[in-house]
Chains A and B, each alone.
Chain A
Amino acid sequence: KAGVTQTPRYLIKTRGQQVTLSCSPISGHRSVSWYQQTPGQGLQFLFEYFSETQRNKGNFPGRFSGRQFSNSRSEMNVSTLELGDSALYLCASSLATSNTEAFFGQGTRLTVV
């Protein structure tokens, strides 16, 4: 059974640019959540999508957005990048929305210069 796939694995962007990250969940999983991991703040919840609808959102500015497609694949977009957006962005998939068994991908390492 294939796990959660995130692409790309690494990205380097310049301040002010925008970036799109992709996540393919485990087959049959309909919930996709996104997290930001930094050394200072640890893992923080960004948002969750279920059946193409944003269900929940963490405490991040509107520059962070996402969407989910009918095949449950999800994308996350960050506009007007800031140096502080440099982080490991992790996607987690689960069968339902409770996230009690959430399986993470390898993450996308974003560096903003």
Chain B
Amino acid sequence: QKEVEQDPGPLSVPEGAIVSLNCTYSNSAFQYFMWYRQYSRKGPELLMYTYSSGNKEDGRFTAQVDKSSKYISLFIRDSQPSDSATYLCAMIYRGGADGLTFGKGTHLIIQP
């Protein structure tokens, strides 16, 4: 079993829809959770990070962490074609000895 599971997609939705991206993890020691967006031939871009359980909102993006279920989500409201990219979840435990552990990424397509 992989430490972090993420559906690779592709996930295709119409412009303006609410997008839900998810990851599950097995290591309960993870304490910090991040979402990255990666366009083709580019490096990952940090979108949001959260600590422990709860919600965090930034513009059209909301990150949600449920540590009891070992489940994290990223919601994108009013999705735009420019949001089409691969979204990677990442997590790290306090001290970060093993660096960031990433999901494989979900390929998102927003149809105009």
Q: Determine whether the beta carbon of B96 is less than 8 Å from that of A98.
A: yes
Q: B-side interface residues toward A, CB under 8 Å?
A: 32, 34, 36, 42-46, 49, 51, 88, 90, 92, 94-105
Contacts of A97 in B (CB 8 A): 96
> Which interface class (under 10, 10 to 19, 20 to 34, 35 or more) fits A?
20 to 34
A42 and B46 within 8 A (CB): no
Report the number of A-B residue pairs with Cβ-Cβ less than 8 Å. 65
**Looking across the interface, which residue of chain B has its beta carbon closest to that of A6?**
B43
The answer on a CB contact under 8 Å between B100 and A4 is no
Cβ contacts A30-58/B at 8 Å (1 or 0 each): 00010100000011111010000000101
Indicate which residue in B34, B43, B90 contacts A105 across the interface (CB closer than 8 Å): B43
User: Complex: how many Å from CA A103 to CA B37?
Assistant: 11
Contact, CB under 8 Å: B96 / A56: yes
Q: Point out the residue from B42, B46, B102 that lies within 8 Å of A103, measured CB to CB.
A: B46
- Alpha-carbon distance between A48 and B100 when the two chains are bound, in angstroms: 10
Contacting pair A35 B99 (CB below 8 A): yes
> What residues of B have a CB within 8 angstroms of the CB of A4 in the complex?
43
A106 an interface residue at 8 Å Cβ cutoff? yes
Chain A: CB-nearest residue to B88: A43
Contacts of B42 in A (CB 8 A): 106-107
Q: Are B43's CB and A45's CB within 8 A?
A: no
- CA–CA, A49 to B99, complex, Å? 11
Instruction: Known contacts A98-B32, A100-B32, A100-B34; decide if A58 and B43 are in contact (CB<8 Å).
Output: no
Q: Choose among B42, B45, B92, B100 the residue with the greatest number of A CB atoms under 10 Å from its CB.
A: B100
Question: Which A residues are in CB contact (< 8 Å) with B94?
Answer: 98
| Choice from B43, B49, B97, B99 contacting A106 with Cβ under 8 Å | B43
